[in-house]
Chains A and B, each alone.
Chain A
Amino acid sequence: MQLIESALESQFASMLDIEKIRADFPILKLQVDGKPLVYFDNAASSQMPQPVIDRLVRYQTTQHANINRGVHYLSETATAEYEESRRKLQRFINAREDREVIFTSGTTDAINLVMHGYGRKFIGAGDEIILTTLEHHSNIVPWQMLAEEKGAKIRVVPITDAGELIIDEYEKLFNERTKFVGVMHVSNALGTINPVKSMIAFAHARGVPVLVDGAQAVPHMKVDVQDLDCDFYAFSGHKMCGPTGIGILYGKAELLERMQPFKGGGDMILSVTFEKTTYNTIPHKFEAGTPPIASAIGLGAAVDYLLSIGMDAIASQELDLLIYATEQISRVPGVRIIGTAAMKTAVLSFEVKGVHPHDIGTLLNQDGVAVRTGHHCVQPVMLRLKVPATTRASFAFYNTLAEVDTFIASLRTVQKIFT
């Protein structure tokens, strides 16, 4: 009860004017089946505020041409805006240099880039790659493909029943054959915030580089890649109020320079003859072909928008939502929360005794409440925690405690229908 009161108080006392923020998101005015939309599927994809939509329209109506080639006004403008967006992203994650920020199509693409560019060059037969049980399929499958191709081996960090990494076991996995670590910063299914900084330090003491999947962290907290000292950091635009089809791979310059290109084509070359091709410098070496220019510029606008609210204010508002929702859902009969780590982002995965998640999802939708149901692209987590699937409510800073009430009331109805 005290927790609820403190959440309520802190929302009232919050620096955030939630109604003003909500007015920035046109989609939040939507009605579903005559009910106001309650969008709790933010971990899958967040919604886009008007300033980002406007930026896309402005680019498309007054600035569009292909980049890095024309000498004409539009091409120079588009190139300048594209590169300015790269610098916004650089400052946002505090990368040392803008050339360490590579535009990709998303987190999956960024991880595949590292697998091809770094993994295929530096990981060989008998080498070991450490991943964790929490990883999204996108940070498992590329490494399995590499392991199969090279004869390398994947070692997996186990988790506790609460959904936290067992760090002792992580440390025991290291040996002289360990060549790479892949770890997610925040679990998409459970919300667990992993102690990546100390994990990176441990790996570096043994000369092992680390890739961090930050798709679920960057939208919700301050991320400083120099402070973390990660070698690679991957994230997606559409989970941070930006467009789909754009994402970022941060990589340390000295590593990116030693890596082989991922995709071949235009823009990533300095010269091409049929005898020999000279690759361009980073970041261009990894940006073959015409990129999604509008999306890249839109992502820069999304960064501006998030910074205008403040990452600390966002984290604080989302923590209020998590605390309140956790308290409220714990009182619904038959509910079990899946993922109870001490450090969590605003992700609430749960099961309701005797009710399949798909039925919960369909029935919540009748009340306008959008949640994710299923295995959340983390089948190993589901297997480990012995749940076939869960229902997941994931919050963003534009959600309200009143929306949590709507969700809980709807969930109570579901629970009654099935008992």
Chain B
Amino acid sequence: MNTKSLYQEVILDHNKKPRNYGTLDHASHHAVGHNPLCGDHLDIALNLDGERIDRIAFHGESCAICKASASMMTTVVKGKTRADAETLIQEFRDMAIGKLDLEGGHHLGRLTVFAGVRDLPTRVKCAILPWHTLQAALNSVTTTSTEAEEDPMHAAIGDA
């Protein structure tokens, strides 16, 4: 895939006008994700109503790929159950590192605009950071890093 296809209109649009951008009052779950390699960081807050994500918001400093990924993620997981979100996290991660068969069964829908990052090893973590932070929040881990030892995505991607 040509890298050009990564900066598609939908990604540029979400970068310029991020959805669900800001903070949440009375969030039940919250986490901050860092990418120490570039200094980017994202703050994700969400509220679980039973098993369902009824509210979610994010803010932080990041590149367009990361911000658009976070913005689209919030629109997709809002209203979904925790289990559905976990499935999406796994599928998104597999797509980003080139392990997902895009033609096979998955639930990513228009999130496949990020498939191009698999050809850009140094940008994989940019796309994944929001999902990684969401997973931390859902599991009540308050801070996480793309470079942390315990990071399930650490070993698979390599050094940026």
A residues apposed to B, CB below 8 Å: 33, 355-359, 362-363, 365-366, 373-375, 382, 388-389, 417-418
Contact = CB atoms under 8 A, between A and B. Distances in A.
A362 B120 contact: yes
A362 B6 contact: yes
Interface string B60-79: 01111100000000000000
A387 to B, nearest CB: 10
Given A33-B2, A358-B126, A362-B3, A374 B63 contact: no
Contacts of A388: 38-40, 61
Nearest to A365: B3
7 contacts: A357-B38, A358-B63, A359-B64, A362-B65, A363-B7, A365-B3, A366-B2
Interface of B: 2-4, 6-7, 12, 15-16, 37-40, 61-65, 120, 122-123, 126
Given A375-B38, A375-B39, A356 B3 contact: no
B38 A359 contact: no
A389 B39 contact: yes
B38 A358 contact: yes
Given A362-B6, A363-B7, A417-B7, A389 B38 contact: yes
Nearest to A419: B16
B63 to A, nearest CB: 4
A197 to B, nearest CB: 35
Nearest to A373: B38
A232 to B, nearest CB: 30
Q: Which 7 A-B pairs have the closest CB atoms?
A: A356-B63, A358-B63, A388-B39, A359-B64, A359-B63, A366-B3, A374-B38
A41 to B, nearest CB: 13
A356 B64 contact: yes
A417 B4 CA distance: 12
A418 B9 CA distance: 11
A31 to B, nearest CB: 14
B3 A358 contact: no
B63 A366 contact: no
A380 to B, nearest CB: 13
A417 B37 CA distance: 25
B4 A366 contact: yes
Contacts of A355: 64
Nearest to B39: A388
Contact of B65 (A357, A359, A374, A382): A359
B84 to A, nearest CB: 30
Nearest to B6: A362
Contacts of A382: 39
A358 B4 contact: no
